Chain A
Amino acid sequence: MTARTTRFLQQWLVFAGLVAVWELATRAARAPFFPPPSQIARAMYQQWLSGPASRLFLTDDVFDHVFPSIGRMLGGWAGATVVGVALGVLLGRSAVAMDFVGPLLAFGRAIPPPTLVPVFLVLFSLGTPMQLATIVFGTVWPIVLNTVDGVRAVDKVKVDTARAFRIQGPQWLFGVVLPSALPKIFAGLRVSLSLALILMVISELVGTTNGIGYQMIYAQRQFELPAMWSGIVLLGVLGYVFNTLLLAVERRALAWQPVGNHAQATGG
């Protein structure tokens, strides 16, 4: 058995052990707010995985709530990516422009996104448009700031090299600037992806009648605690899965990097 598998087993044994302890403790304590994990698992199964075989056992709930949530989250995040990278490249190429708007960006990032939910609520129609606006507004900052950083930090010798060979236009942008900035951009994307999940939930706590967040708050009001807990667990799983997927994409896109060389995000 390699050291790696040992470590893997070790991790999951500890994990399983903790879940077992949690199970026993919650059963013994009978605390109403903390149902045992087995009960949560059962609730999750019933809520999402007890559908007909023809639909891969997925229930209506998955189609009515989970998928729309994920769609909005990914849609908003994709929008923020396009806007953020474009804006970041423009600003990053011009020191002067950044002098003008740099403080505004830092300020924009500091605004708690939910405070603008009321504004988005009246400006956009209730439901998806307002939710997308919230997600885009909340996730765009780390992408812009990291793109600016990455674009600014293009190595001087590479700039000279490109100039010496008269590289211009699209080849300059897509062949030199963006690849240089890519590690930084990915660092920003990671931060904003986890923000997107948070904002998805937030926007569903306020302005909709569907989605995972809505279901959770509904379950809470009905005092169906296992259902509420299954929402928490599902969000944890989604966060983990999306982060893992993004890391995989990043590893592929940055395969050219020397091993163990990862850029860090410029703040959240």
Chain B
Amino acid sequence: MPTMLEVTDLGHRYAAKDGVYTAIDGLSFTVGSGELVCIVGPSGCGKSTLLRSVSGLLRPTTGQVRLHGNLVSGVPADLAVVFQDYSRSLFPWLSVQRNVEFPLRRALGRAERRERARQALEQVGLTGAAGKYPWQLSGGMQQRVAIARALAYRPALLLMDEPFASVDAQTRFELEDLLLRVRREQDTTVLLVTHDIDESVYLGDRVLVLSKSPARVVADLTVDLPAERDQITTRESERFVAMRAEVARLLHSPPAEVAAPARERAGAVVGE
């Protein structure tokens, strides 16, 4: 599997009142083409900062990000982001349909744009809401619009920051399966931040566990579940339960020495 994304020694410091605040520090990992990698970490550890750096929205203070081997400076072309602050990322003056079409205007003609947006909205189950304005929708529906917009864009790399945080459990399952299906069909590479341990194991080919702020990679676990996942059977399988416990343990009491990714130490790991 060729490497698509390569993050080396990435660090970011924010200017704070009293000097600087180090949000992330010395992060290194790679994501292969077509892989789905989940990132879990304690609240406020710098997950969003990491995604913003990867997307080129934020210039890293140290280290570098390479996409397809090219140094990322500025936002690359074939990348889409679903922001954590989904409701603010929708344009209130555009209807749901037009919000989804908005990034497509440059590349596609009108009819094609329409069709793509219609499909994406259908995928997230929002066909009926196409003509509404964002503020007329519930939080979960707004989040699905943001997801639809990213899907319709058909990026090579999809960055998602807690994309299912506001939807109910049933919808969440459906959206998780939708994501798995879409990325297989469109061969999308996905980097997804979540605070839900189960979700990270269920979705991921790999799970990156981050430490408390400043974030470093505590463990890089390969999820050795069958590629075909099922909300009921996968979640009750022994491997799943074991993986889940592993991630939870790493999150709650990370090994003292975190500089080297804990690949070897994690019992559930099977090589790539």
Contacts and interface: CB of A to CB of B under 8 A. Distances in A.
Within the complex, are A and B direct neighbours (CB within 8 Å)? yes
Interface in A139-164: 155, 157-158, 160-161, 163-164
B102 A175 contact: yes
A166 B105 CA distance: 11
Contacts of A171: 105-106
B80 A164 contact: yes
Contact of A157 (B75, B89, B106, B135): B89
B83 A258 contact: no
Interface string A242-268: 000000000000001110000000000
A160 B89 contact: yes
Given A164-B75, A171-B105, A171-B106, A256 B89 contact: no
Interface residues of B, number: 23
B103 to A, nearest CB: 4
A105 interface: no
Interface residues of A, number: 19
B81 A155 contact: no
Given A161-B81, A161-B83, A164-B55, A179 B88 contact: no
B108 interface: no
Contact of B77 (A155, A166, A180, A257): A166
A45 to B, nearest CB: 45
A167 B105 CA distance: 9
B123 to A, nearest CB: 19
B153 A165 contact: yes
B88 A155 contact: yes
Contact of B88 (A157, A163, A164, A256): A157
B75 A256 contact: no
Interface in A170-205: 171, 175-176, 179-180, 182
Nearest to A160: B57
B50 interface: no
A95 to B, nearest CB: 16
A162 to B, nearest CB: 9
A256 B93 contact: yes
A155 B134 CA distance: 15
B57 A182 contact: no
Contacts of A163: 57, 75
B2 to A, nearest CB: 24
Nearest to B106: A171
Interface in B130-155: 133, 135, 153
Interface in B80-94: 80-81, 83, 85, 88-89, 91-94
Contacts of B85: 157
A218 B166 CA distance: 69
B79 interface: yes
Interface string B97-117: 000001101100000000000
Contacts of B105: 171, 175
Contacts of B91: 158, 161, 175-176, 179
B13 to A, nearest CB: 19
Interface of B: 52, 55, 57, 75, 77, 79-81, 83, 85, 88-89, 91-94, 102-103, 105-106, 133, 135, 153
9 contacts: A164-B83, A165-B80, A167-B103, A176-B91, A179-B91, A180-B93, A256-B92, A256-B93, A258-B135
